[in-house]
């Protein structure tokens, strides 16, 4: 049923579970184009901003343990000269993108993430604190708490808070408290110059579909709180199951995470935001949470539909259109249910 909605030219992987049964497992294209090594179901794909959801879970876990509070401020945990940045920005404002903190990659101003590295070498970005020079001298974008605007810096600062509170690198904390708990054995924040086996290379067009270059000069050398985790599609399905089944957070906190906290609802898909997830209004049914990522040569989207207990994961290491694929699949599952 689902296979017919996949463009034969889509390169990457698609994976759908219905009631935890696999109903679609699709791979296509090469993880290594030059050597013609194919993408497989256990290929580790870059996921760009999708990793914000893991950071959100890490923060909410620390809140449930009493080590952190929603209304704690960035000044309380991170002892630096914040310059023009409001030290009273709260953890919750970072979580739901209402902080106004200067965004090192403001998507409303810059088109391409690789523009960041023209004057600042991307190979220097291996820790969250390495991104401080890219935003610390900028003014606030707007007064904290006054509006919603998607913000990458906010999640870098949340990862810095995880590190200050726990005393370990954020990716180590996430491995022990999120990935290991959910059986996500292929997921991690790997350095581009030290990638483990089965990682997909990401490709951009130069002049034609046969003229490709890799994205190694376009993205951070290692992921941060803003994103950059490598994942497998099975791992992401396991993450949703772990979240749904209460392995990561209490039932109450999970519901809070997946509820609308910001956004005006104007856009049918990007209209609302929870904590680390976008929310599609259920229009009389339960809302549908999802997370997504887009970098040069990277496109990722995964959603959980509680109305029919479906988990869907779509990823491409060629930047193919996962959003259209997700919309088509969602429509097909609705029409299938009606029949």
The CATH number of whichever domain residue 294 belongs to comes to 3.40.710.10
Q: What is the pLDDT of residue 106?
A: 83
**Lookup result for tokens 């104007």:** 266
pLDDT tens by residue, 150-173:
999 999 999 999 999 999 999 999
| Domain hosting residue 86, numbered range | 3-338
pLDDT tens by residue, 59-101:
999 999 999 999 999 999 999 999 999 999 999 999 999 999 9
CB atoms within 10 A of CB 256: 16
Whole-model pTM: value is 0.97
Q: What is the pLDDT of residue 338?
A: 46
Confidence label for 5 from pLDDT (cuts 50, 70 and 90): confident
Would you state the torsion angle of the CA atoms of residues 17, 13, 298, 302, taken in this order, to the nearest 10 degrees?
-10
Kindly report the length of the chain: 339
Tokens of 96: 């739901």
* Largest Cα–Cα separation, the chain: 61
Confidence label for 4 from pLDDT (cuts 50, 70 and 90): confident
Q: What is the percent of the chain with per-residue pLDDT over 70, rounded to a whole number?
A: 98
Q: What average pLDDT does the structure give for the chain?
A: 95
Tokens of 221: 């050398």
Element (H, E) at 130: none
Q: What is the pLDDT of residue 332?
A: 78
Per the CB < 8 A criterion, the answer to whether 151 and 134 are in contact is no
Confidence label for 334 from pLDDT (cuts 50, 70 and 90): low
How many domains is the chain partitioned into structurally? 1
Task: Round to whole Å and give the CA distance between 140 and 151.
Answer: 12
Task: Round to whole Å and give the CA distance between 31 and 19.
Answer: 30
Q: Is the pLDDT of residue 247 over 50?
A: yes
Task: Round to whole Å and give the CA distance between 283 and 154.
Answer: 30
Per the CB < 8 A criterion, the answer to whether 296 and 202 are in contact is yes
Name the most confidently modeled range: 201-210, 301-310, 328-337: 301-310
Task: Round to whole Å and give the CA distance between 159 and 128.
Answer: 7
Q: What is the pLDDT of residue 65?
A: 98
Bridge-based pairing of strands 21-28 and 203-208 is: unpaired
Confidence label for 335 from pLDDT (cuts 50, 70 and 90): low
Task: Round to whole Å and give the CA distance between 13 and 26.
Answer: 5
Burial of 276-292, coded b for 16+ CB within 10 Å and e otherwise, reads bbbbbeeeeeebbbbbb
């Amino acid at each position: 049923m689902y296979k017919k909605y996949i463009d034969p030219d889509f390169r990457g992987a698609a994976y759908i579970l219905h009631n935890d049964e696999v109903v679609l497992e699709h791979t296509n294209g090469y993880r290594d184009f030059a050597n013609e090594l194919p993408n497989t179901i256990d290929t580790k794909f870059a996921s760009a901003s999708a990793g914000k959801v893991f950071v959100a879970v890490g923060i909410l876990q620390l809140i449930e343990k009493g080590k952190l509070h929603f209304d704690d401020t960035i000044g309380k945990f991170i002892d630096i000269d914040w310059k023009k940045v409001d030290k009273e920005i709260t953890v919750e404002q970072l979580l739901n993108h209402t902080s106004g903190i200067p965004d090192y990659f403001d998507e409303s101003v810059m088109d391409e993430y690789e523009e960041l590295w023209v004057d600042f070498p991307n190979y220097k970005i291996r820790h969250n604190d390495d991104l401080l020079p890219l935003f610390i001298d900028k003014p606030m974008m707007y007064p904290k708490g006054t509006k919603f605007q998607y913000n990458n810096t906010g999640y870098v600062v949340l990862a810095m808070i995880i590190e200050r509170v726990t005393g370990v690198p954020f990716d180590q904390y996430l491995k022990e408290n999120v990935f290991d708990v959910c059986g996500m054995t292929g997921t991690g924040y790997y350095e581009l110059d030290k990638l483990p086996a089965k990682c997909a290379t990401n490709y951009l067009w130069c002049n034609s579909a046969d003229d490709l270059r890799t994205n190694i000069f376009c993205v951070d050398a290692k992921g941060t709180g803003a994103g950059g985790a490598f994942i497998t599609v099975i791992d992401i399905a396991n993450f949703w199951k772990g979240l749904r089944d209460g392995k990561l957070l209490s039932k109450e906190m999970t519901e809070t995470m997946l509820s609308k906290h910001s956004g005006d609802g104007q856009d049918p898909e990007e209209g609302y935001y929870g904590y680390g997830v976008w929310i599609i209004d259920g229009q009389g049914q339960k809302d549908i949470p999802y997370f997504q990522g887009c970098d040069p040569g990277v496109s990722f989207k995964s959603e959980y539909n509680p109305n029919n207990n479906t988990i869907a994961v779509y990823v491409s290491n060629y930047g193919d259109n996962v959003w259209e694929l997700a919309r088509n699949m969602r429509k097909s599952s609705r029409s299938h249910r009606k029949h």
